[in-house]
A and B are shown apart, each in its own frame.
Chain A
Amino acid sequence: MSVLSALLRKELRLELRTFESVPGMVLFSVTIFVVFHFGLDRASVEGDLAAGILVVTLLFAGMLGLNRLYVADEEQGGFDGFLLAPVDRTWLFVAKATALFAYLVALEIVMVPAFAFLLLGPGLGQALPELLVVLALVNGGFAIIAALVGAIAVRTRARDLLGPLIALPLLVPVVIAGAELLQPLLREGGGGGLEAKWLAILGLYDLVFGLLSVAVFDPLLED
């Protein structure tokens, strides 16, 4: 556990010092909302359209985060330093996934109100607790996949392209479940509770890929 907290502290401290990920993700997502406004020619959205825009924007911002996640380690020798330490290498995965989860939360603190402000028709008030649950599960899925795929992609050529290309199909079930869950929440009078089947799928996805990634992460760092 102390390994994890040490790694996590390093990640967060680095982010706070360099601001490499979160501000870019925030700016990107707000810009995307503007683009959607013009692209769809809508002043306000609700229901399935709103759910789709929110999830897709989160997804693309997450891809930006994925691309930045391991770059510092790769370019400045962080990997080598870590490999010399006598610790279980899987902790790096947990730390990276947790860090990205934190970045996504920070992103959403700005992004969701911005969405409500710019594009969302109905209010967010009653649906807020359910919204938080859904976003937490979606963030979990994004963070796990990004931490795994980022490690694969960073050591290859064309890493900025390969990372999202591999991650996006893998994340389709998360997008499906996330959009289905958010859809009733973003309607007038939303907040009637969450559909169990989609919660189960999201939860199962996070669990399966969390465990899987922990199992296969080690071979990625052998050199």
Chain B
Amino acid sequence: MYGKGLRGLSVATIITLVGAFALVFFYAPNDRDQGFIQKIFYLHVPMAIVALGGFVAGGLLAIQHLRTRDPKWDLRSYVAIHISIILAVGVLVTGSIWAKGSWGHWWLWDEPTLVSFLIVFLLYATYTPMRFAIEDRERQARYASVFAITAGAFVPLNFAAVRMAEAYTHPRVLSTTGGAMPGDMRLTFMVAIVGMILLFITLYRFELATKHARGRLRSLRRQLTGDDAPVPRRTAAPTI
């Protein structure tokens, strides 16, 4: 059951994330060079790290699907990727806001995290249309898994390549104090990362629980009415 432990998980998430934000605004010092605007860092970078982890996890879950052919793995892979895409949108928007506030431009080609995320986002944006374009459920899941594995392997490679492309021309612009982070900033950053990870896991379990429940409901309906009426809307999401 996916919903088990969800209450404890959500409480932990709330405490950690709210705690992190409290630390951001009441504890962490202002950055020497960037000033107050640097506070966005504690939101933007943890989201980025968790989203990247989510995409890679989606690939690993897809490997399990191809090995066992159990549709539950495909559902897990889909949800992990789905949540990571939402986080990726957040990364791009917060990064853009940071860029505008900090350098006056809405986009910075010099910032490898931002650029890598744009590429990764453009790739994963094709995931749902691709699923939608394949009608047969089993083939859809299989193809989606191949995609998720390829894309999951691509993410770290892309990051390295983009970072290298900028490394010799421009220093990291949206980083913090250009060097080692002082202890109080580091603590805040760590708490923010943990909070974001917990958020991902909570949303992941939450979405899996709802999708699973919906699948069971559909099965119940089929058993009681003898057919699947009304015909469900075609969807890119996997069903069990």
Contact = CB atoms under 8 A, between A and B. Distances in A.
**Contact between chain A and chain B defined by CB under 8 Å:** yes
Interface of A: 148, 152-153, 155-158, 162, 165-166, 168-170, 172-173, 176-177, 180, 197-198, 201, 204-205, 208-209, 212-213, 216-217, 219-220, 222-223
Contacts of A155: 134, 139, 143
Interface residues of B, number: 29
A158 B161 CA distance: 30
Given A152-B130, A209-B153, A177 B146 contact: no
B164 A197 contact: yes
A201 B153 contact: no
Given A219-B142, A219-B145, A170 B150 contact: yes
B107 interface: no
A27 to B, nearest CB: 28
A165 B66 contact: no
Nearest to A211: B153
Contacts of A152: 130, 143, 146-147
Nearest to B140: A156
A132 to B, nearest CB: 22
Given A155-B139, A172-B119, A201-B164, A216 B146 contact: yes
Given A212-B153, A216-B66, A162 B133 contact: yes
B133 A157 contact: yes
B157 interface: yes
A88 to B, nearest CB: 17
Contact of A166 (B66, B126, B136, B162): B126
Interface string B74-113: 0000000000000000000000000000000000000000
Given A165-B126, A165-B129, A213-B150, 7 more contacts: A162-B133, A168-B122, A170-B154, A201-B160, A204-B157, A209-B154, A220-B146
A155 B135 CA distance: 10
Nearest to A216: B146
B196 interface: no
A172 B150 contact: no
A201 B145 CA distance: 26
Given A201-B164, A212-B149, A162 B126 contact: yes
A152 B146 CA distance: 8
A197 B171 CA distance: 18
A166 B149 contact: no
A158 B134 CA distance: 10
B190 interface: no
27 contacts: A148-B146, A148-B150, A153-B130, A156-B130, A156-B143, A162-B129, A162-B130, A168-B122, A169-B123, A170-B150, A172-B119, A172-B161, A173-B158, A176-B165, A180-B165, A198-B164, A201-B160, A209-B154, A213-B150, A216-B146, A216-B149, A219-B142, A219-B146, A220-B143, A220-B146, A222-B139, A223-B136
B46 to A, nearest CB: 24
Interface centre among A156, A212, A223, by most chain B C-beta atoms within 10 angstroms, is A156
Nearest to A205: B157
Contacts of A223: 136, 139
A155 to B, nearest CB: 7
Interface string B156-182: 011011101100000000000000000
B17 interface: no
Nearest to B124: A169
B120 interface: yes
Contact of B157 (A148, A153, A208, A213): A208
